[in-house]
Amino acid sequence: MIDTTAPRPSIPGMFDVILRGTAELDTLLQDDRALPDIVQRLVGISVLGLSVHGAVVGLIRDLLHGTGPNAVLWMPLAFVVAFVGALCICLPSFYFYTQLSGLDASFRLVTAQALRAQATTSVLLLGVMPFYGAVALAAALGVISEESTVLGLGMVLPFVVGLTGLRAAYRGFIALAKVLPKTHERRGAFLRRMVLAWGAVYTSVAPVALWRLVERLGG
Amino acid sequence: MGVLETAILYATLGVAVAIFTAHTSTARGFERYGTLLAAFAFWPLFTPSLIAGERPRSTARPENAVAARIHREEERLVAALSALEGVAAEVLSPEVRRVRSLFRGLDKMSVRLAELEALLATPDYSGDPPRKAAEKLAILRDRTKDQIDRTLLEVEELVSQLHLIRFANSPDDEIVRRVRDLAAGIEGLAEGLLAE
């Protein structure tokens, strides 16, 4: 017997839904009963992707510095706490901007949309990792002399890849705008402006959080 | 309030949300522990799902007679699917999602139907003699209503077939095969709706 009220893809199934099933994810997010499970899975994927990326950046830092396994242990924590923590901090602002745009979205729908952006970023980070590994290898072989460039790239990469996450949130809102009640009509590209406001507030919090955490944990 | 006091307060709220999540989460095994740990560490993300009640359906779905019938048929079809024993949840879950997706399409059509009916009831379109545009709108309304009726009739047929499968004492793999055939039928209905 299955639970008929909440169709729930497993975490591996969610990878597929995030990468290919944009319309399916839109449908899932429109079902209030499915949202708690979807939120849990999106958090899981976000944490997984950021942890793996953090571990790779930490490993490269350890290798380039010639120290023992040190950063590989705390860097995943720094990445996860900085990015997911920044999301927690920004949620009230996200909700505020969404309401200002005229979309009557619930707080948990806003949370799910924010996590959708983060989970998309995390999944794509896993895909970009081999390229980052190649850059790190080039640094280890002396092709790139500045190790801070390689580590800096590892820190900046989630923000660059994050643009695709932002795009996923934007496309999700386009679909949601067709079914969500509107509190007031807005003209122009209000959805685009709203998502850009989301991105702006998040980008002002997450780098500071990451910088401070790396500084604190890395000594 | 210093860092330590803030951390204690944060952790206390985290424990409360994790306990609440443990009661409501359907995750099992390793995934369950991961979820509880995430709920403890990132409780602000979990709190909205836990404290917010389900939104009234009327905000997302229209509640006129047609919409109510659509909703009733949706629940019947999903219930018939879920009542099948011997079929793994992994097989049925995608079909339930397909059903939900089909009925979201029907919801949109019922909204369109209600809008057309409201428009045709306005003095602009209900005067005598009827305007040419009113006739075209009436044709559109009748066609939309026909499509909804036809789809719901096919859904009723699917429900009957699912009941037959359930009581026919077929082997499990036979049930799975027939469910997949019916799922293809549901997909066909959804595609038909999108194409119209």
Inside any domain, residue B11: yes
In this prediction the ipTM stands at 0.73
- Given B41, B49, B100, which is nearest A27 (Cβ)? B100
Q: Of A91, A187, A106, which is closest to residue B54 (Cα–Cα)?
A: A106
Residues B117 and B159 in one domain: yes
Q: What is the DSSP letter of B55?
A: P
Cβ of A106 within 8 Å of Cβ of B34? The answer is no
Q: Which residues of A touch B (CB under 8 A)?
A: 1-4, 6-11, 24, 27-28, 30-33, 35-37, 39-40, 43-44, 47, 81, 84-85, 87-88, 91, 104, 106-108, 110-111, 115, 179-181
Indicate the burial class of B145 (C-beta count within 10 angstroms; 0-12, 13-18, 19 or more).
Answer: middle
Look at the block and give the residue holding tokens 């409201």.
B118
Query: Which residue bears the tokens 């109510």?
Result: B68
Best residue in B31, B42, B103 for a mutation probing chain A (most A CBs within 10 Å): B42
CA distances from A88 to A46, A205, B2, B160 (A): 13, 11, 20, 48
Expressed as residue numbers, the domain containing B47 is 3-52
Burial class (CB in 10 A: 0-12, 13-18, 19+), B88: exposed
Residue whose token pair is 């899975």? A41
pLDDT of residue A48: 92
In a domain, B82, yes or no: yes
Q: How many CB pairs under 8 A join A and B?
A: 100
How close are the terminal C-alpha atoms of chain A, in Å? 53
**Count of domains in chain B?**
2
Asked if B27 and B103 sit in the same domain, the reply is no
Final residue in a domain of this structure, among B52, B73, B89: B52
The reply to whether B111 and B32 lie within a common domain is no
- Spatial contact of A56 and A188, defined as CB atoms under 8 Å apart: no
Q: pLDDT 10s digit of each residue in chain A, 219 long? A: 334 444 456 677 788 888 876 777 887 787 777 788 888 889 999 999 999 999 999 998 888 887 766 888 999 999 999 999 999 999 999 999 998 888 888 888 899 999 999 999 999 999 999 999 888 888 888 787 787 888 899 999 999 999 999 999 998 888 888 777 777 777 677 888 899 999 999 999 999 999 999 888 876
- Rounded Cα distance between B67 and B156, Å, is 16
| Strand, coil or helix: A23 | helix
pLDDT in tens, B152-196: 888 888 788 878 877 777 777 777 777 777 777 766 666 666 555
B48 and B109: one domain? no
Q: How far is CA A164 from CA A110, A118, B20, in A?
A: 18, 10, 33
Contact between A64 and A36 under an 8 Å Cβ cutoff? The reply is no
Do both B111 and B179 map to the same domain? yes
Among chain A residues, CA nearest to B37: A44
What are residue A182's DSSP bridge partners?
Answer: A103
Q: Tell whether B17 and B93 lie within a shared domain.
A: no
> What pLDDT sits at residue B165?
77
**How is residue A208 annotated by DSSP?**
H
A61 vs A155: CA distance, rounded Å: 11
Q: What ranges in chain B are assigned the alpha helix state H? A: 3-24, 29-41, 43-51, 57-60, 65-82, 89-120, 123-126, 132-167, 172-195
Return the number of other C-beta atoms located less than 10 Å from residue B64's C-beta. 13
Give A28's contacts in chain B (Cβ within 8 Å): 97
Q: How far is CA A138 from the centre of its chain?
A: 27
CB atoms within 10 A of CB B25: 19
Residue B23: inside a domain? yes
Whole-model pTM over 0.95: no
| Residue B58 located in a structural domain | no
Give B98-120 pLDDT, tens digit per residue. 777 778 778 888 888 888 888 88
Residues on B contacting A at a C-beta cutoff of 8 Å:
21, 24-27, 31, 34-35, 38-39, 41-42, 44-46, 48-50, 52, 54-55, 59-60, 78-79, 81-83, 85, 89, 92-94, 96-97, 100-101, 104
Nearest CB partner across the interface for B26, out of A11, A37, A111: A37
Could you tell me if residue B59 is inside a domain?
no
Q: Are residues B38 and B107 in the same domain?
A: no
Interface with A, mutate which of B47, B49, B82 (most A CBs under 10 A)? B49
Token duo for residue B97: 């999602």
> Do both B32 and B127 map to the same domain?
no
The answer as to whether B112 is a domain residue is: yes
